[in-house]
Amino acid sequence: MEYHENRLGVIEGIEKSYDDINSLLIENFDKNLQKQLNHYKRHPSILIDEIIKTHDNFVENVSNELEKQKANHPDFKTEDTVLNEITELFDDCVGEEFSKDELTKIYSEGKERYANEIPPGYKDENTKQKKGLRNIYGDLVIWKELLNYTKNKKNPLIFITDDRKEDWWTIDKGKTIRPREELIKEFFDFTGIRILIYNADQFLTYAKERGLLPEIKDETIEEVKDIRVSDEKYYTNLSDILNSQSLASKSISDMLSAQTYKPINISDMLSSQAITSKSISDMLSAQTYKPINISDMLSSQAITSKSISDMLSAQT
């Protein structure tokens, strides 16, 4: 559900990146660099006009290169191989959803759980307020589905999630350590069965080592890991920002009376990067959009109950 809700936005964001890079080059010059260069217009030896002309030629070359790459970018809106793979994977594998009454009870329970920071999902309360109760309590709904499914089926369960927030994982200094102990305990207390929780690259690595997914390429696992690590750093920084802003009115008043707010100077950040024409050209020519090999990941996940039991019995 969340994938389908966010899919078009992600695709549009990828397509918009080409225009963003072009605007970044132009705006950084107009707002910052040109103003600085004007200070040297009367210099007896520095030919500022020639420097500006060189810069303009560079921006034009980069813009042309971006347009060329944009024209060759895959049109995921009309032909999305990832969507096709996911649709095929989940064909006849989706269970029944909760009734409205059941969801109402889960939302009510979720309100109390989130107030006491009982996982999972409480980190979504502030960030998804405008998206409705289903989004706010979406993680808890999934958790309840896992609990009920396992209790009814009496089968071991492996849950794979790339949610990086601390309401699923114990995190120390930005590094994911293990699933939250409260979740492991609640699952066992309710079902009498253990649960294993992995992120995607951990699962792929472990399954390959056990011979369950021998055809998975190391490059695929490494790519999945790189994305996870990058997102962990992003969410850690975002969490720090959001946490720092969740202050009561009195606290904000105290802060305002004691200090002035100074926003981050984006121009300083951009101007300090001093990227040469050659380095940007190298970056643009070397960087091609390469989606994760979902086919490798998905086509090989026909793991039998026995294989899962082997993993559970071997994992301490």
**DSSP β-ladder status, 175-179 and 195-198:** unpaired
The pLDDT-based confidence of 249 (bands split at 50, 70, 90) is very low
Q: pLDDT (tens digit, 9 = 90+) per residue, 181-207?
A: 999 999 999 999 999 999 899 999 999
Top mean-pLDDT range of 82-96, 177-191, 204-218, 276-290: 177-191
Q: Which of 283, 275, 264 is nearest to 33 (CA)?
A: 275
Q: pLDDT (tens digit, 9 = 90+) per residue, 33-78?
A: 777 777 788 888 888 888 888 888 888 898 899 999 988 888 888 8
Distance (Å, whole) CA 79 – CA 99: 34
- On the CB side of 312, CA atoms within 13 Å amount to 17
pLDDT value, residue 260: 38
Contact yes or no for 25/62 (Cβ under 8 A) = yes
User: pTM (2 decimals)?
Assistant: 0.57
Choose the weakest-confidence range: 18-22, 122-126, 172-176, 275-279: 275-279
- Diameter of the chain measured on Cα atoms: 84
C-alpha distances out from residue 3 to 81, 83, 183, 234, 238, Å: 14, 9, 24, 19, 21
**What 3-state class would DSSP assign to 159?**
strand
